[in-house]
Each structure stands twice: as structure tokens, then as C-alpha cells.
Amino acid sequence: MSKKGIVKDLARQRIRWLFNLAAEETRKGRYERAKRYTELIMKIAEKGNIKIPRLIKRSICLNCGVVLIPGITLSIRLRGEGRGSHVVARCMLCGWIKRYYIKVRRT
């Protein structure tokens, strides 16, 4: 493996590890520490020039930086029917709203 490949692999491992720490701190109610961990995730991804995995990216509030955990810091609602169906995710700390559209299969 090349030097770049090793660095990117290490960065991905650190991102996963920091995300798990941030989620744990959020469950304990330590939001400031969780925000710091998510800031570090963003900096590592930027420095290492790698994409943050979709699951992790969608689990972080882009406004306040806390990890979104359903029932603790996240409210999830399904809206619309048919082709316009989407998930509405709302951060309970800052009120930030994100909509994810759902692809509907026709049978």
C-alpha cells in the first residue's frame, strides 16, 4: 500500500473512532465534548482529503455539530406520499431541519 493509502486508511479509522466517542458523549449529555469530536472529524476529513461516510455525515447536525441520536437529539418524521415522500430530521437542540427524499419503487 502506498503512503497516501496508509494515511487515508488511518484517517478513516480515526473518523469512525471519534464518531463512536461523540455518540457516547451525546448519550451521556455532554454535548460540548461531542461537538469537539465532530469538529475533529471534519478537520481530519479535510486534511486527509477523504469523504465522510454517508451514515456518519447524516448523523451529525450541520448547524450545531452534535451527533443526532433519535429520541435524544433528533426528531424524525415521514412526510408526503407517493413520489414526494421524504424524511424530515430535526435537531432537538438547535432546531435545524434536514429533508432526505425517498425513492419510491413502482410495482
In angstroms, the CA 65 to CA 91 distance is: 10
pLDDT tens readout for residues 23-71: 999 999 999 999 999 999 999 999 989 999 999 999 999 999 999 999 9
pTM: 0.85
* Cβ–Cβ < 8 Å for 79, 88: yes
Burial of 41 (0-12, 13-18, 19+ CB in 10 A): buried
Question: How far is residue 7's CA from residue 96's CA, in Å, rounded to a whole number?
Answer: 33
Q: How many CA atoms lie within 13 A of 31 on its CB side?
A: 13
Residue 81 pLDDT more than 70? yes
Q: How far is C-alpha 39 from the geometric centre of its chain's CA atoms?
A: 12
